[in-house]
Structure 1
Amino acid sequence: MIDPRLLRTDPELIRRSEVRRGGSGEVVDALLAADAERRSSIAAFEELRAEQKSLGKQVAKASGEEKQELLSRTKQLAAEVKQKQADSDAAGERFNTLIKQIGNIVDDVVPDGGEDDYVVLETIGQPRDFAAEGFTPRDHLEIGELLGAIDVERGAKVSGSRFYFLTGVGAQLELALISYAMAKATEWGFTPILPPALVKPTAMEGTGFLGQAAEDVYHLERDDLYLVGTAEVPLAAYHSDEILDPASLPLRYAGYSPSFRREAGSYGKDTRGIFRVHWFDKVEMFVYCDPEDAAAEHQRLLEYEKEFISSLELPFQVLDLAAGDLGLSAARKFDCYSWLPTQGRYREITSTSNCTEFQARRLSIRSRFDDGVAPVATLNGTLVAVTRVIVMLFENHQQADGSVRVPEALRPYLGGREVLEPIKR
């Protein structure tokens, strides 16, 4: 949620941000009108309440006809107060509904435009020239089947499209990636956490996933619980309704959890293999900090992601996403895209977002700063989204005989194995 004070002090800032996100400034006009109505209703209610209290004192001192008149006015006033209370509540509800539609204020340095208007900040590593090596690269699914690592046919049989089994070395590779990611996060000072994968609506809404992203979320109506699409959600809600000790900041957590996504709107996209699926496991970094430190923490998370991807010996690019491609909560977002040989292009494998105070304000997470109690900043960053990293490892490190070379950094987590060999049929 944006700071409501901005609405009164700088509504044009909000309007510009919404337009940059690809929306309309009209929502700001509606919000201003709702705010005026809300404040007017509150003032009218408080005025009547003050009169009601004053009459109560007068009734206690009056007698005879005067007392009867005062009692009559008191009765009338009670009905008016009740109505004004209802008007005030309704105006407040309209205001709250509208302000939750407003995205975080986009950072001035974020590029303008939409999904295709990102800026490439860095290109790290060099894609392999398979033609020079004398063979045509196989895609990750063909490699996975040769290794006995991926079974999408039985995944579809058991659960439907976009589900899969990781088998044999595929399952071992997932466990290795998770263990390696958690070990690196711990090395960097993050506290490991295994969060719940089911959360209440307050957690999902507080992190901004029940707005524009609601159609991509799985909801268990009977229990009114949501399956998380990322550990960001329970990690963000972990300190909800708390005032954090400023001496403890920054708080850095690394959460491992399954992630569930409907992939709404992705019909026909990446239908082969495990690049785009309804369920995958992920390690997510999450930070609570002083808002003044948020930009530096954002760069820190990006550097961790770059270090991790580089250690897996994957060629990749770092993207600064455009304003129209930011999620509701992000003020700025960096993505890392790894090279996918069989598609001849870079594809997303990690992202990191600076959500400033947006989520903390919605979740009531504050700290005591020099100028008083105020919301903290929150940031998130993917360390490893397992299925996509497996895709990249298989395709980038494949060899002509169908085997896959294991990056040196990952070998200790696979029992020292240097190569994944095709299974004998």
Structure 2
Amino acid sequence: MIDLRLLREDPDRVRASQRARGEDVALVDALLSADERRRSSGVRFDELRAEQKQLGKLIPKATADEKAELLKRAEQLKADVKAADAERDAADTETQELLQRLGNLVHPDVPVGGEEDFVTLETHGTIRDFGAEGFEPKDHLELGQRLGAIDVERGAKVSGSRFYFLTGVGALLELALVNAAISQATAAGFTPMLTPALVRPQSMAGTGFLGQAAQDVYHLDKDDLYLVGTSEVPLAAYHMDEILDADQLPLRYAGFSPCFRREAGSHGKDTRGIFRVHQFDKVEMFSYVTPEDSQEEHKRLLEWEKQWLTSLELPFRVIDVASADLGASASRKYDCEAWIPTQGKYRELTSTSDCTEFQSRRLSIRVREGKQVRPLATLNGTLCAVPRTIVAILENHQQADGSVYVPKVLRPYLGGREVLEPVAK
């Protein structure tokens, strides 16, 4: 959530952020009104309680005639205090509910617009000309089936659409990717973490995933637990309700977890293969830093993502995501999109978001600097979303005979294999 003091001091900035997100600007005025009622009712309650306490001291000393009048006033005060307390609680509840609906403030340099209004910041690698090489590229599913690596038919039989099995070399390729990604993260100073896949509501809400993203979240009603769509959630909640010392920062974690997404708004999109699925594994970077260092940390996370994709020898571009395409918690977000030959376009493989103080305020995570205690900043960055990375590797590194070149960074984790060979026509 944002700082209420900032809302009071500069409401136009918050309105502009809401407008850039394509969200309801009227929410800002409703929140200002609720906050004013909360504060004024709080003052009224305190005044009445002070009078009540003062009256309590006067009654024992009063004469008989005075006492009757004071007791009458005491009865009225009791009712007034109760009413003021209820009004204060109602205003506070309304304020908090409205505050939970407000997205993070959009960074002023973020391009304004929707999904297609991003700005390309840089491109890396060379897109292959398969025509010049004399063959038509196959898509990842056909390649995966020939390699004995992907089985979507049995995935659908067992679990339904958008589920899959990774088999044989496909399973080995996932393990190689995860090990290589964790190795890079560890070398960069991240602490590797295996995180829970089920979290409590306060963890999911605290990271901002029960607002606009709630439709994509799986909920277990009987246990009131949520399946995470990313290990960002348990990594953010890891220090919930804690005060960290400034000399502990930055704290950097690399979480590996299964991820679950309903993909409720993606009907008819990417239905072939394993690009968009309901369950997948992912290595996620997560940082806790001081608010002053969040923008530099954001650049560092992006550099680690670029290093990873470069090591996989993939052509990709970096985009500055437009304001209406940001998640609720992100102030700014960069995506790295790899070229997918059979689609003829770049598709998102990794992303990194600067969430500033938004999540830490909701999760009550603070930093102590001397005598001062204040919210810190959180950031996240995907290092390896496994299925999409497999898609990009198979399609970009395929050979005319259906085999697939193995990037050098993965070979130590694949028994030295330089090529994945087809096992079926």
Shorter-chain TM-score category?
Answer: over 0.9
- Equivalent residue letter for 2:423: I
**Partner of 1:60 in structure 2?**
60
The question of whether the paired residues in 1 share the 8 Å contact of 2:246 and 2:367 is answered with yes
**Partner of 2:253 in structure 1?**
253
**Partner of 2:121 in structure 1?**
121
Query: For 1:265-286, what per-residue CA distance to the aligned partner results, in whole angstroms no more than 9, with x for missing partners?
Result: 1000000000000000000000
**Partner of 1:221 in structure 2?**
221
Query: Distance between the aligned counterparts of 1:68 and 1:378, measured in 2?
Result: 60
> Offset of 1:370 from its aligned partner?
5.6
Q: Which runs of 5+ in 2 are unaligned?
A: none
**Partner of 1:180 in structure 2?**
180
> Offset of 1:4 from its aligned partner?
0.6
Query: Distance between the aligned counterparts of 1:370 and 1:337, measured in 2?
Result: 42
> For structure 1, which segment, 24-33 or 307-316, has the greater mean C-alpha deviation from structure 2 after superposition?
24-33
1:6 partnered with 2:6: yes
Query: For 1:143-170, what per-residue CA distance to the aligned partner results, in whole angstroms no more than 9, with x for missing partners?
Result: 1100111111111111111000111111
**Partner of 2:37 in structure 1?**
37
CA RMSD for the aligned pairs? 1.0
- Equivalent residue letter for 2:69: E
Secondary structure of 1:362's aligned partner: helix
> Offset of 1:400 from its aligned partner?
1.1
**Partner of 1:243 in structure 2?**
243
The question of whether the paired residues in 1 share the 8 Å contact of 2:177 and 2:384 is answered with yes
> Offset of 1:369 from its aligned partner?
2.7
> Offset of 1:63 from its aligned partner?
4.1
> Offset of 1:133 from its aligned partner?
0.7
Query: Distance between the aligned counterparts of 1:40 and 1:2, measured in 2?
Result: 21
**Partner of 1:375 in structure 2?**
375
The question of whether the paired residues in 1 share the 8 Å contact of 2:336 and 2:349 is answered with yes
Residue pairs, 1:16-165, within 5 angstroms:
16-165=16-165
The question of whether the paired residues in 1 share the 8 Å contact of 2:148 and 2:424 is answered with no
> Offset of 1:64 from its aligned partner?
1.9
Give TM-score scaled by structure 1 length: 0.98
Query: Distance between the aligned counterparts of 1:149 and 1:176, measured in 2?
Result: 14
> Offset of 1:130 from its aligned partner?
0.6
Count of residues paired in the alignment = 425
1:310 partnered with 2:310: yes
The question of whether the paired residues in 1 share the 8 Å contact of 2:245 and 2:369 is answered with no
Query: For 1:347-372, what per-residue CA distance to the aligned partner results, in whole angstroms no more than 9, with x for missing partners?
Result: 00000000011111111111123672
Query: Distance between the aligned counterparts of 1:264 and 1:61, measured in 2?
Result: 70
**Partner of 2:422 in structure 1?**
422
Query: Distance between the aligned counterparts of 1:263 and 1:167, measured in 2?
Result: 24
Query: Distance between the aligned counterparts of 1:400 and 1:65, measured in 2?
Result: 106
Residue pairs, 1:324-339, within 5 angstroms:
324-339=324-339
Query: Distance between the aligned counterparts of 2:59 and 2:211, measured in 1?
Result: 51
Query: Distance between the aligned counterparts of 1:422 and 1:5, measured in 2?
Result: 62
The question of whether the paired residues in 1 share the 8 Å contact of 2:257 and 2:282 is answered with yes
> Offset of 1:37 from its aligned partner?
1.1
Overall identity of the aligned pairs, in %: 67
> Offset of 1:25 from its aligned partner?
1.9
Query: Distance between the aligned counterparts of 1:424 and 1:105, measured in 2?
Result: 53
Query: Distance between the aligned counterparts of 1:24 and 1:245, measured in 2?
Result: 38
- Equivalent residue letter for 1:312: L
- Equivalent residue letter for 1:81: V
**Partner of 2:386 in structure 1?**
386
Query: For 1:153-201, what per-residue CA distance to the aligned partner results, in whole angstroms no more than 9, with x for missing partners?
Result: 1111111110001111111111111111111100000000111010011
Query: For 1:93-139, what per-residue CA distance to the aligned partner results, in whole angstroms no more than 9, with x for missing partners?
Result: 11111111111111111111111000000110011111111111110
1:344 partnered with 2:344: yes
Query: Distance between the aligned counterparts of 2:311 and 2:244, measured in 1?
Result: 35
Query: For 1:53-76, what per-residue CA distance to the aligned partner results, in whole angstroms no more than 9, with x for missing partners?
Result: 111111222242322332232222
The question of whether the paired residues in 1 share the 8 Å contact of 2:149 and 2:169 is answered with yes
Query: For 1:371-414, what per-residue CA distance to the aligned partner results, in whole angstroms no more than 9, with x for missing partners?
Result: 72110000000000000000001100111111111001110011
Secondary structure of 1:116's aligned partner: helix
Query: For 1:210-266, what per-residue CA distance to the aligned partner results, in whole angstroms no more than 9, with x for missing partners?
Result: 011011100111111100000000000000111101001000000000110000110
- Equivalent residue letter for 1:378: T
The question of whether the paired residues in 1 share the 8 Å contact of 2:121 and 2:317 is answered with yes
Query: Distance between the aligned counterparts of 1:256 and 1:24, measured in 2?
Result: 36
Query: Distance between the aligned counterparts of 2:66 and 2:306, measured in 1?
Result: 80
Secondary structure of 1:380's aligned partner: strand
**Partner of 1:279 in structure 2?**
279
**Partner of 2:167 in structure 1?**
167
Query: Distance between the aligned counterparts of 1:99 and 1:171, measured in 2?
Result: 44
Query: Distance between the aligned counterparts of 2:204 and 2:23, measured in 1?
Result: 22
**Partner of 2:192 in structure 1?**
192
**Partner of 2:300 in structure 1?**
300
Query: Distance between the aligned counterparts of 2:424 and 2:391, measured in 1?
Result: 22
Secondary structure of 2:101's aligned partner: coil
- Equivalent residue letter for 2:105: I
> Offset of 1:46 from its aligned partner?
1.0
Secondary structure of 2:243's aligned partner: strand
Query: Distance between the aligned counterparts of 1:26 and 1:354, measured in 2?
Result: 25
Query: Distance between the aligned counterparts of 1:387 and 1:254, measured in 2?
Result: 18
Residue pairs, 1:202-221, within 5 angstroms:
202-221=202-221
Give TM-score scaled by structure 2 length: 0.98
